[in-house]
């Protein structure tokens, strides 16, 4: 009985956090959607921005985007990937690490 209850709690917690993530990501999604109508914004987003620069860019657009929103968006995108796509992403990351860590 305990594992079933625990499983339900985990599922409820996941649903709640997924809903909360989608609510908090609204401004980030707005920013990314605006790039389709704003060539200057699109150009800025294509540049290599660090996190702080990205957050300042969002703020300049009147949007409230946080560092945790960026991580939540990354998780949201990874959850949507197929197993094959996830494996490919992991392989790409492993290759970069091998080239970075010379040994």
Task: Give the whole-angstrom CA distance, residue 48 versus residue 54.
Answer: 9
Tokens of 65: 């985007």
Coil, strand or helix: which one is 83?
helix
Residue 103 exposed, middle or buried by CB count within 10 Å (0-12, 13-18, 19+): exposed
pTM over 0.75: no
Q: What is the pLDDT of residues 33-77, one digit of tens each?
A: 999 999 999 999 898 889 999 999 999 999 999 999 999 998 888
Task: Give the whole-angstrom CA distance, residue 21 versus residue 74.
Answer: 11
Q: What is the pLDDT of residues 12-42, one digit of tens each?
A: 344 444 444 444 689 999 999 999 999 999 9
């Amino acid at each position: 009985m305990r594992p079933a209850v625990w499983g339900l709690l985990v599922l409820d917690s996941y649903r709640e956090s997924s809903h909360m993530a989608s609510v908090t990501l609204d401004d980030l999604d707005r920013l990314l959607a605006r790039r389709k109508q704003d060539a200057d914004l699109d150009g800025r987003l294509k540049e290599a921005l660090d996190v702080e620069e990205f957050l300042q860019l969002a703020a300049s657009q009147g949007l409230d985007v946080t560092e945790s929103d960026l991580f939540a968006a990354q998780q949201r995108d990874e959850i949507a990937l197929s197993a094959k796509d996830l494996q490919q992403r992991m392989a790409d990351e492993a290759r970069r690490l091998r080239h970075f860590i010379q040994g």
